[in-house]
C-alpha cells in the first residue's frame, strides 16, 4: 500500500514509522532484524531503508603512493526492503538517490522495485562525497531531487527514458521527499528552500519527511510556512534522540540542526553515561507527545540501530 494511503486510512490518528540503515558490507540481515524485531509490536505500517552511495578511500600501496579506491560501505537497500516486507508483512520504503546514478541506472532500479511490488520511494539528491566538496551528479544523472521526482512521475505515467519503449506499463510509486525545518544547509534562506521543496511537490511528490530537529517550534513554523506557499502534502517529522555527549557537536555538524539550550544543559549536567541517555530519551518523549497531540500524520524515528532507546520512547508515547 502507498504511504499516503496509510495516512488517509489513519483518519487523523498519528502513525509511527522507523528508519534503518543497511549494515556495513560483510554484515548480515540479522542486524536489521535485531533492530526491528523489538519495534514491530508498535505496528509501523512502513519502514524506511536508507541508501548509501559509494565513497572514495585512499589506500597506501607498498610503493608509498596512495591509490584512490571506490567502495560501497553499506550496500543492500533493495534486498533489505524485500526481506522486511517478507518477514513482517509491512511496506518498505527504499531511499533512492541522484548521487551515483545515471538516469538509466535510476530507471533500472525503479523497474526492479516495481517488480518486487515495492511502490514507495523516498527521492533524494544525496550529499557530496567526502573528497568532492560539493555534490557532483553522474554524467547523465540528476543534479537535484526534483529531477528524480520528475523521472519517477514520468514512469508513473508510463513514460520510460528510451523512445523504443512503447506503451510502457505505468508504475504506481508513491513519492516522498526530504524537507528541512531549519532549511537545507546549501539554501541561502528559507524562502529559497521552500521554493525548491514546493517544486518537488508540484512535480509529483506525495509527502515530505523532515530532517531531524530538536525544537518542535521549528517544525510547527515550517509546516505553517509550507502551507503558506501552497505545499499541501502530509509533512512527517523525523525524530532522533540524543544518547551520547559527543552528539551535542556531531549532530549540528552533520545534520545542520540547532540544539535547544535546555536539552544541551540536561545532557551536559547528567552525572553519567546512562543519565545523559535518559535526558535525551526524555526530551524525545516530550517532543513526540507534543507532535502527536498536534495531529502530525506520523512520527518517523531514525533508529540508527538502537532499538532499546527507540522502544523506551515509543512505549511512553503510544
Closer to ligand FAD at the Cβ: 49 or 279?
Answer: 49
CB of 201 to ligand FAD, least distance (A): 11
The DSSP string of 16-72 is EEEEE-PPPTT--HHHHHHHHGGGGGG--SEEEE-----EEEEEE-TTS-EEEEEE-
Q: Taking CB under 6 A as the rule, which mask of x and - marks residues 40-79 in contact with ligand FAD?
A: ----------xx----------------------------
* Helix orientation angle between 216-228 and 273-293, rounded to the nearest 10 degrees: 30
The DSSP string of 70-86 is EE-SS--HHHHHHHHHH
Task: With contacts defined by CB under 6 A, name the span among 60-68, 106-114, 150-158, 188-196 that binds ligand FAD.
Answer: 188-196
- Which residues in the 161-180 window bind ligand FAD by CB under 6 A? 178
- Which residues in the 282-311 window bind ligand FAD by CB under 6 A? none
Phi, psi of 40 (to 5 degrees): -70, -20
Number of amino acids touching ligand FAD (CB under 6 A): 23
- Which residues in the 82-101 window bind ligand FAD by CB under 6 A? 95, 97
The alpha carbon of residue 237 and the mean position of all alpha carbons in its chain are separated, in whole angstroms, by: 11
Rg, Å, the chain Cα set: 20
- Alpha-carbon span 168 to 189, nearest angstrom: 40
The alpha carbon of residue 280 and the mean position of all alpha carbons in its chain are separated, in whole angstroms, by: 21
- Binder of ligand FAD out of 14, 17, 211, 303 (CB under 6 A): 211
Task: With contacts defined by CB under 6 A, name the span among 54-62, 68-76, 82-90, 184-192 that binds ligand FAD.
Answer: 184-192
Counting contacts by CB under 6 A, is residue 184 touching ligand FAD? yes
- Binder of ligand FAD out of 23, 100, 126, 241 (CB under 6 A): 126
Counting contacts by CB under 6 A, is residue 238 touching ligand FAD? yes
Closer to ligand FAD at the Cβ: 194 or 266?
Answer: 194
| Sequence-ordered strand ranges (E) for the chain | 15-20, 46-49, 55-60, 66-71, 91-97, 120-124, 174-179, 207-212, 235-239, 298-302
Closer to ligand FAD at the Cβ: 56 or 192?
Answer: 192
Task: With contacts defined by CB under 6 A, name the span among 22-30, 110-118, 140-148, 221-229 that binds ligand FAD.
Answer: 140-148
Name the one residue in this structure whose C-alpha cell is 524485500: 82
Task: With contacts defined by CB under 6 A, name the span among 8-16, 84-92, 117-125, 274-282 that binds ligand FAD.
Answer: 117-125
- Alpha-carbon span 177 to 206, nearest angstrom: 8
The CA-to-CA distance between both ends of the chain, in Å, stands at: 23
- Binder of ligand FAD out of 55, 127, 221, 290 (CB under 6 A): 127
- Binder of ligand FAD out of 47, 209, 267, 284 (CB under 6 A): 209
Closer to ligand FAD at the Cβ: 175 or 266?
Answer: 175
Name the one residue in this structure whose C-alpha cell is 498536534: 294
Closer to ligand FAD at the Cβ: 21 or 266?
Answer: 21
* Helix orientation angle between 273-293 and 261-269, rounded to the nearest 10 degrees: 150
The residue ranges that bind ligand FAD (CB under 6 A) are 50-51, 95, 97, 122, 124-127, 144-146, 178, 184, 186-187, 192-193, 196, 200, 209, 211, 238
Amino acid at each position: 500500500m502507498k504511504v499516503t494511503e496509510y495516512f488517509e486510512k489513519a483518519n487523523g490518528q498519528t502513525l509511527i514509522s522507523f528508519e534503518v540503515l543497511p549494515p556495513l558490507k560483510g554484515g548480515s540481515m540479522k542486524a536489521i532484524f535485531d533492530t526491528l524485531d523489538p519495534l514491530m509490536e508498535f505496528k509501523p505500517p512502513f519502514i524506511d531503508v536508507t541508501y548509501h552511495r559509494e565513497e572514495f578511500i585512499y589506500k597506501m600501496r607498498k610503493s608509498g603512493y596512495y591509490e584512490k579506491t571506490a567502495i560501497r560501505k553499506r550496500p543492500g537497500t533493495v534486498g533489505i526492503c524485500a526481506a522486511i516486507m517478507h518477514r513482517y508483512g509491512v511496506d518498505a520504503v527504499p531511499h533512492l538517490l541522484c548521487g551515483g546514478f545515471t538516469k538509466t541506472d535510476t530507471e533500472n532500479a525503479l523497474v526492479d522495485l516495481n517488480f518486487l511490488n515495492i511502490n514507495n520511494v523516498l527521492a533524494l539528491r544525496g550529499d557530496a562525497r567526502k573528497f568532492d566538496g560539493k555534490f557532483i551528479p553522474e554524467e547523465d544523472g540528476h543534479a537535484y531531487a526534483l529531477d528524480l521526482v520528475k523521472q519517477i512521475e514520468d514512469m508513473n505515467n508510463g513514460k520510460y527514458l528510451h523512445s523504443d519503449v512503447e506503451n510502457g506499463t505505468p508504475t504506481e510509486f508513491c513519492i516522498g521527499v526530504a524537507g528541512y525545518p531549519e532549511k537545507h544547509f546549501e539554501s541561502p534562506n528559507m524562502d529559497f528552500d521552500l521554493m525548491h521543496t514546493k517544486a518537488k511537490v508540484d512535480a509529483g511528490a506525495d509527502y515530505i519527511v523532515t530532517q531531524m530537529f530538536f525544537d518542535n517550534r521549528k517544525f510547527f513554523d515550517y509546516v505553517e510556512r509550507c502551507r503558506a506557499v501552497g505545499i499541501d502534502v502530509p509533512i512527517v517529522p523525523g525524530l532522533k534522540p540524543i544518547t551520547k555527549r559527543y552528539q551535542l557537536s556531531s549532530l549540528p555538524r552533520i545534520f545542520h540542526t540547532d540544539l535547544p539550550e535546555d536539552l544541551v544543559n540536561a545532557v551536559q549536567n547528567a552525572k553519567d553515561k546512562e543519565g545523559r541517555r535518559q535526558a535525551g530519551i526524555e526530551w524525545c518523549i516530550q517532543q513526540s507527545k507534543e507532535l502527536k497531540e498536534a495531529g502530525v500524520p506520523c512520527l518517523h524515528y531514525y533508529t540508527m540501530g538502537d532499538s532499546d532507546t527507540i522502544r523506551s520512547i515509543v512505549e511512553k508515547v503510544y
